Amino acid sequence: MSGTADPRLFAARRPPRRRISLSWSDPVLRSLVWQVVIIGIVVAVAWYLISNANRNLAARHIATGFGFLQNTSGVPIGESLVTYTPGASTYGWALVVGILNTLKVAVVGVVLATILGTLIGVARLSQNWLLSRICAVYIEVMRDIPLLLQLLFWYGLLQVLPVPRRAFHPVPGVFLSNRGILFPLLDWKSAHSWALLAFAIGLVLTTLWSRHARRRQEATGQRPPVWPVALALLVGLPVVVWAALGAPFHLDLPVLRGFNFHGGGSMTPEYGALTFGLVIYTAAYIAEIVRSGILAVPHGQWEAAGALGLHRGQLLRLIVLPQAMRVIIPPMTSEYLNLTKNSSLAVAIGYQDIVSIAGTEINQTGQAIEGIAIIMAVYLTISLSISLFMNWYNARIALVER
Amino acid sequence: MSQSQSQGSIDPRRIADVEPVPAIAGEVATPVYHRAQPRVGGLGPLGWARANLFNSWVSTAVTLVLVYAIARIAIAFIDWALVNAVWTVPQTATGPNTARCRDLMGVGACWAVIGEKYRFILFGRFPYEEQWRPAISILLFVGLYVVSAMRRFWRRELILIWILALAVIGLLMFGGVFGMTYVPTDEWGGLPITLILSTFGLALAFPLAVLVALGRRARSLPAIRLLCVVYIELIRGVPLISLLFMASVMFPLFMPEGLNPDKLLRAQVAIILFAGAYLAEVIRGGLQALPKGQYEAADALGLSYWQKTGLIILPQALRLVIPPLVNTFIGFFKDTSLVLIIGIFDLLNAAKVAVAEPAWQGFQNEVFLVAAAIYFTFCYAMASYSRGLERQFSRSARR
């Protein structure tokens, strides 16, 4: 079609408009008939199922629709990022709590699994035979045992921990008991917020400075110092701000009072087991992705970088990782999606994520169809957002070819 | 590896032996053989260790730390699992007396729970006298896998073998004929359930997946294509649990009154729908990897769509995706454990329930380790098979 000839000369040669002939040997007609038949079957089956459902719901006196979300919920929820009181809050609000709990596991899990998985993937490529073998065994064992079994195992281990009065006390301020894991928390003052703001400003300035440094290097061949400036901006600035505001530093330590702990930060055994299990399971998959990504960079690239006189850090940062990332990102995206979907196993160990709370609501209200539709909508939204973000990132780092 | 490769190519050191480095700016040329690096370590196990375990300070430190950690963990594990373990407990009139196990809890493993409960873990609540039937079913399943794994059986007759074996397994599990008592599905349990859900799931999801993959590639049928895309993306976007929930609480609502398929069948349907979407994507990868010339050549021969697909496209495309298919199978084999959440007695649930009774409460680590070992055996066998196959295929592709 895209020949060398001037298309204007050939305007008259467009194929004639096809007319559908009423013959079975006409592929257009055939495909039309097939589509009508199959869509017809699907619609008929769907209509049959829906009419069944309507009849059954009417027979059981279950109202349809999402009106129940406004009703007061009796779902007891153990841990929540927002205020929730059973008996006062609505079913809809309980679902929001569940979504936040799911996100809490997914976000923390994705970050930790990426770090751990990258470390293991790099260690798997180590020249040290023992280290590489151990990582291989770890990856194999993790991948060949169902995640649910692993979660039940970790949860079981956390449950046989002693009662709070005789909690494990490995380092000062940290307690492990069957009520969860307690750790010291920084007593947050306004000075800390200002220091955080200073850090953010430092981050922006560092980015600007490194961009300026690169431009200078490209223009003159001389690179202004970057690391000392970055260090001063990222560490020095917040510390100066913090010190100027009186340098408040007070740790809120968990203290045993009566039968339970007070103060400090805490992590429930459910959340701890779920996050830990998800992280070490997903890390095995991420490690394999990272390893194959690094191996996919041709050996000549390493040698060429070495020949240019780059030291190992530069070699990894400037040559190997940018190329490995292109191979790594697409499978990594699906691993993140898997982790998010796997967080729904929470229901088996009693962590109240969206599936668990929606399940309880289904039991309480009988609104099975709406409840499951909500679960699916939530996961589809999360999945879609993650893949959109990762696709955007992938497009950004993709090889730009002419 | 490097030895065999360097034989074909030119060894740079050998050239260096004869040619001196050219003199730079008046310096005296240095013959390169002076600069040849000595082999690190030397030969033998000592040399190997020096090259692979102690080739730098960092490496040496890592090795020592790891050896220490492994030794500590291994000794602790052997102490727990073998030295201090309790292998049997005395039986009393009211049941087993687990006092000795309780005293040693956390110090020594209580393997007595396995000896006591292994029949329950493997076969669930299947009538005790009849448990030879699920046992034979397990053997049949394993035999089926082994036969399917051998390439000399990769032909059409394999489908017949599958149908036959699955029919026999169904007969054995249900019973009701040949003097075997009828056992309803809610009394089934343990490993057979895991194998049934995964094997039947894959056997039935596979044809569905092929159709959906073809539908997604059908450019001339936009409506069907859209249908397939929606199905695949919808299923892949939600967790399996939500589908199992759907099967357990929503499915009955959609059935006509009076018809209530049992729980196992509903879970099976959910797993088939789930597996179908994932397998379809794997198969689509194979369809896309096939060169366009194959499609065009088949068209040029005047084959109809189904002839083209059945005779030219699928045999090649499926062959391409066998390794990723096996990996997907491993995933589903593990994922069948999720039926625990809707209360079906698969291997994992049987293991969990085995330690629910008061006498054995708290000995879950032991049963979970055994269940993990069973899962691991199956998955590891599949994984190493898939790796071997991948090696064979890539070898033939390189040739």
Pick among B65, B227, B254, B278 to test the A interface (most A CBs inside 10 A): B254
User: How many other CB atoms sit within 10 Å of the CB of residue A41?
Assistant: 10
Report how many helices (DSSP H) and strands (DSSP E) chain B contains, helices first: 19, 2
CA of B180, closest CA in chain A: separation in Å? Answer: 34
Whether residue A143 lies within 8 A of chain B, CB to CB, comes out as yes
Nearest to B254 by CA among A297, A164, A47: A47
Interface of B with A in 305-324 (CB under 8 A): none
CA of A103, closest CA in chain B: separation in Å? Answer: 14
What are B318-373's pLDDT values in tens digits? Answer: 888 888 888 888 989 999 999 888 888 888 888 888 888 877 777 888 888 889 99
Interface of B with A in 231-250 (CB under 8 A): 234, 236-242, 245-246, 249-250
Pick among A25, A95, A141, A376 to test the B interface (most B CBs inside 10 A): A376
Strands (E), B142-225: none
What are A169-203's pLDDT values in tens digits? Answer: 777 777 777 777 777 777 777 788 888 888 999 89
Whether residue A31 lies within 8 A of chain B, CB to CB, comes out as yes
CA of B246, closest CA in chain A: separation in Å? Answer: 7
Contact A144 B380 (CB under 8 A): yes
How far is the C-alpha of A369 from the C-alpha of A377, rounded, in Å?
Answer: 12
* Ramachandran angles phi, psi of A31, nearest 5°: -65, -35
In the predicted structure, residue A1 carries a pLDDT above the cut 60: no
Q: Which helix (H) or strand (E) holds A177?
A: strand A175-177
Interface of B with A in 329-358 (CB under 8 A): 330, 334-335, 337-338, 340-341, 348, 352
Are B333 and B378 spatial neighbours (Cβ–Cβ below 8 Å)?
A: yes
Whether residue B55 lies within 8 A of chain A, CB to CB, comes out as yes
Taking CB atoms and an 8 Å cutoff, what residues of chain A touch B245?
355, 359, 362, 372, 375
What are B163-198's pLDDT values in tens digits? Answer: 888 888 888 888 777 777 777 777 788 888 899 899
CB crowding B359-379: b at 16 or more within 10 Å, else e: bbebbbbbbbbbbbebbbebb
A96-101's contacts with Cβ under 8 Å and 24+ in sequence apart are A97/A352, A97/A357, A98/A352, A98/A353, A98/A354, A98/A355, A98/A356, A98/A357, A98/A358, A99/A354, A99/A378, A101/A346, A101/A351, A101/A352, A101/A353, A101/A354, A101/A357
Taking CB atoms and an 8 Å cutoff, what residues of chain A touch B106?
160
Whether residue B379 lies within 8 A of chain A, CB to CB, comes out as yes
**pLDDT > 70: percent of chain A:** 93
Are B281 and A80 spatial neighbours (Cβ–Cβ below 8 Å)?
A: no
Q: How far is CA A126 from CA A123, A131, A319, B53, B138, in A?
A: 5, 7, 19, 10, 41
Q: Tokens 């009662």 map to which residue? A: A163
Cβ-Cβ contacts under 8 Å between A and B: the total is: 154
Whether residue A203 lies within 8 A of chain B, CB to CB, comes out as no
CA of B157, closest CA in chain A: separation in Å? Answer: 31
How far is the C-alpha of A343 from the C-alpha of A375, rounded, in Å?
Answer: 13
Q: What is the pLDDT of residue B377?
A: 92
Give chain A's length.
402
Whether residue A125 lies within 8 A of chain B, CB to CB, comes out as no
In the predicted structure, residue A2 carries a pLDDT above the cut 50: no
Instruction: Point out the residue among B62, B240, B352 whose CB comes nearest to the CB of A131.
Output: B62
Sign of CA dihedral A375, A381, A382, A384: positive
Q: Identify which of A24-33, A220-229, A301-310, A316-325 has the greatest average pLDDT.
A: A301-310
Whether residue A368 lies within 8 A of chain B, CB to CB, comes out as yes
Whether residue B177 lies within 8 A of chain A, CB to CB, comes out as no
What is the DSSP track for A134-171?
Answer: HHHHHHHHHHTS-HHHHHHHHHHHHHTSPPGGG-B-SS
Q: What is the pLDDT of residue A150?
A: 92
Q: What is the pLDDT of residue B68?
A: 93
User: How many other CB atoms sit within 10 Å of the CB of residue B39?
Assistant: 9
Instruction: Point out the residue among A140, A141, A372 whose CB comes nearest to the CB of B250.
Output: A372
Name the β-bridge partners of A90: A72
Q: What is the pLDDT of residue A136?
A: 92
Q: B3 pLDDT band (50/70/90 cuts)?
A: very low
How far is the C-alpha of B144 from the C-alpha of B159, rounded, in Å?
Answer: 11
Are B100 and B88 spatial neighbours (Cβ–Cβ below 8 Å)?
A: no
CA of A402, closest CA in chain B: separation in Å? Answer: 24
Taking CB atoms and an 8 Å cutoff, what residues of chain A touch B236?
383
Contact A144 B106 (CB under 8 A): no
What are B152-162's pLDDT values in tens digits? Answer: 877 778 888 88
What are B87-126's pLDDT values in tens digits? Answer: 877 777 777 777 777 777 777 778 877 877 788 888 888 7
Instruction: Point out the residue among A128, A141, A348 whose CB comes nearest to the CB of B59.
Output: A128
Are A348 and A69 spatial neighbours (Cβ–Cβ below 8 Å)?
A: no
Query: Lowest-pLDDT range, A113-117, A384-388, B1-5?
Result: B1-5
Q: What is the pLDDT of residue A276?
A: 92
What are A202-213's pLDDT values in tens digits? Answer: 899 999 988 888
CATH class of residue range A110-184+252-352: mainly alpha
B390 or A216: which carries more pLDDT confidence? A216
In chain A, where the domains are located = 110-184+252-352, 192-244
Do the bridges between strand A251-252 and strand B95-96 make them parallel or antiparallel, or are there none, so unpaired?
unpaired
pTM above 0.90, yes or no: no
Contact A56 B253 (CB under 8 A): yes
Contact A368 B256 (CB under 8 A): no
Is domain B125-398 classified as CATH 1.10.3720.10? yes
Residues 6+ apart with CB under 8 A from A339: A106, A109, A110, A113, A278, A282
What are B201-235's pLDDT values in tens digits? Answer: 888 999 999 999 998 888 888 888 888 888 988 89
**pLDDT > 70: percent of chain B:** 86
Q: Please, what is the average pLDDT of chain B?
A: 80
Q: Which helix (H) or strand (E) holds A356?
A: helix A354-365
Q: Tokens 């691991």 map to which residue? A: B376
Contact B227 A59 (CB under 8 A): no
**pLDDT > 90: percent of chain B:** 11
Nearest residue of B to residue A360 by CA position? B245
In the predicted structure, residue B314 carries a pLDDT above the cut 50: yes
Pick among A35, A140, A178, A362 to test the B interface (most B CBs inside 10 A): A35
Nearest to B329 by CA among B379, B283, B392, B274: B379
CA angle A308–A312–A316, rounded 5-degree value: 90
Q: Which helix (H) or strand (E) holds B294?
A: helix B292-300
Over residues B255-265, mean pLDDT = 77
Interface of A with B in 176-195 (CB under 8 A): none
CA angle B320–B325–B208, rounded 5-degree value: 100
Taking CB atoms and an 8 Å cutoff, what residues of chain B touch A348?
340-341
CA angle B312–B317–B318, rounded 5-degree value: 110
Contact B66 A130 (CB under 8 A): yes
Nearest residue of A to residue B362 by CA position? A160
Judge if ipTM > 0.90.
Answer: no
Contact A153 B372 (CB under 8 A): yes
Over residues A276-305, mean pLDDT = 91
How far is the C-alpha of A95 from the C-alpha of B44, rounded, in Å?
Answer: 65
Over residues A345-372, mean pLDDT = 85
Q: Please, what is the average pLDDT of chain A?
A: 83
User: How many other CB atoms sit within 10 Å of the CB of residue B125?
Assistant: 15
Whether residue B221 lies within 8 A of chain A, CB to CB, comes out as yes
Whether residue B294 lies within 8 A of chain A, CB to CB, comes out as no
Whether residue A25 lies within 8 A of chain B, CB to CB, comes out as no
Nearest to A343 by CA among A49, A60, A112: A112
How far is the C-alpha of B366 from the C-alpha of B369, rounded, in Å?
Answer: 5
CA of B221, closest CA in chain A: separation in Å? Answer: 6
Instruction: Point out the residue among B249, B362, B383 whose CB comes nearest to the CB of A160.
Output: B362
DSSP code, position A180: E
Q: What is the pLDDT of residue A239?
A: 87
How far is the C-alpha of B323 from the C-alpha of B204, rounded, in Å?
Answer: 19
A395 or B259: which carries more pLDDT confidence? A395
Instruction: Point out the residue among B53, B240, B330 whose CB comes nearest to the CB of A129.
Output: B53
Taking CB atoms and an 8 Å cutoff, what residues of chain B touch A59?
257
Whether residue A160 lies within 8 A of chain B, CB to CB, comes out as yes
In the predicted structure, residue B270 carries a pLDDT above the cut 60: yes
Q: A158 pLDDT band (50/70/90 cuts)?
A: confident
Q: A4 pLDDT band (50/70/90 cuts)?
A: low
Contact A52 B256 (CB under 8 A): yes
* Secondary structure (3-state) at B110: strand
